[in-house]
Chains A and B, each alone.
Chain A
């Protein structure tokens, strides 16, 4: 079975500071990993994803994440926070299931708060 743990339900940073949102996963087979962002009163949209190949993945709005197999982690970072980054962030893992389907499992989310 697959699972995702996001450490910290809320992360608070100052504008211009480093953003680090943590995600650890559990999977018995190679996973696909995702970060989604949800702005208030909207659906989720994809920030970035890891499938295979390069372990450092770059996404939209200056975010990036690194897949570390030895640590079963996929932490999301951004060098300098902007006020517009304030949102809910979800990590997700997807692996092939019996029958060949890919159904992702989402973490509980981390709310990013950016202070001026």
Chain B
């Protein structure tokens, strides 16, 4: 079972470069998320999507963009990379309906360093 797959696993970017983190899920989940994890800060929500064609900002959206053209894919775009975007990024998905508890399934993470 693939679950949530994100690529690349590791990437080094130079300041000002752009890149896209890819994320795909094969569980037919309606919700997808991007989080960043910094030491001692827990998980911060960057963007989320409740279905194809619908996206919304989370806590820390600045410097990022997303799109959701299909149920399966939710890429995260970094424009003009800055050192503050050095972090571990997690893509996640869930099937959300009232009473289900909305259990989230995470990818294995993408380690991004901006130098």
Total A residues in contact with B, Cβ cutoff 8 Å: 28
Q: A42-B108, A43-B90, A43-B109 are in contact. Are A32 and B42 (CB under 8 A)?
A: no
Least CB separation from B90: chain A residue: A43
Q: B99, A51: Cβ atoms under 8 Å?
A: yes
User: What residues of chain B lie closer than 8 Å to A108, measured between beta carbons?
Assistant: 40-42
Take A44-B90, A101-B96 as given contacts and tell me if A107 and B42 are in contact as well, using a CB distance cutoff of 8 Å. yes
Interface size of B by Cβ–Cβ distance < 8 Å? 28
Q: How far does the alpha carbon of A42 sit from the alpha carbon of B99 in the complex, in Å? A: 28
Chain A residues lying within 8 Å of B1, measured Cβ to Cβ, are none
Inter-chain contacts of A102 with B (CB < 8 A): 31, 94, 96, 102
With a cutoff of 8 Å between Cβ atoms, the chain A residues found around residue B74 in the complex are: none
Write the nearest CB–CB distance from B68 to chain A, whole angstroms: 14
Interface positions of A from 18 to 74, Cβ below 8 Å from B? 32, 34, 36, 41-46, 49-52
Q: Please report A residues at the B interface, Cβ cutoff 8 Å.
A: 9, 32, 34, 36, 41-46, 49-52, 90, 92, 94, 96, 100-109
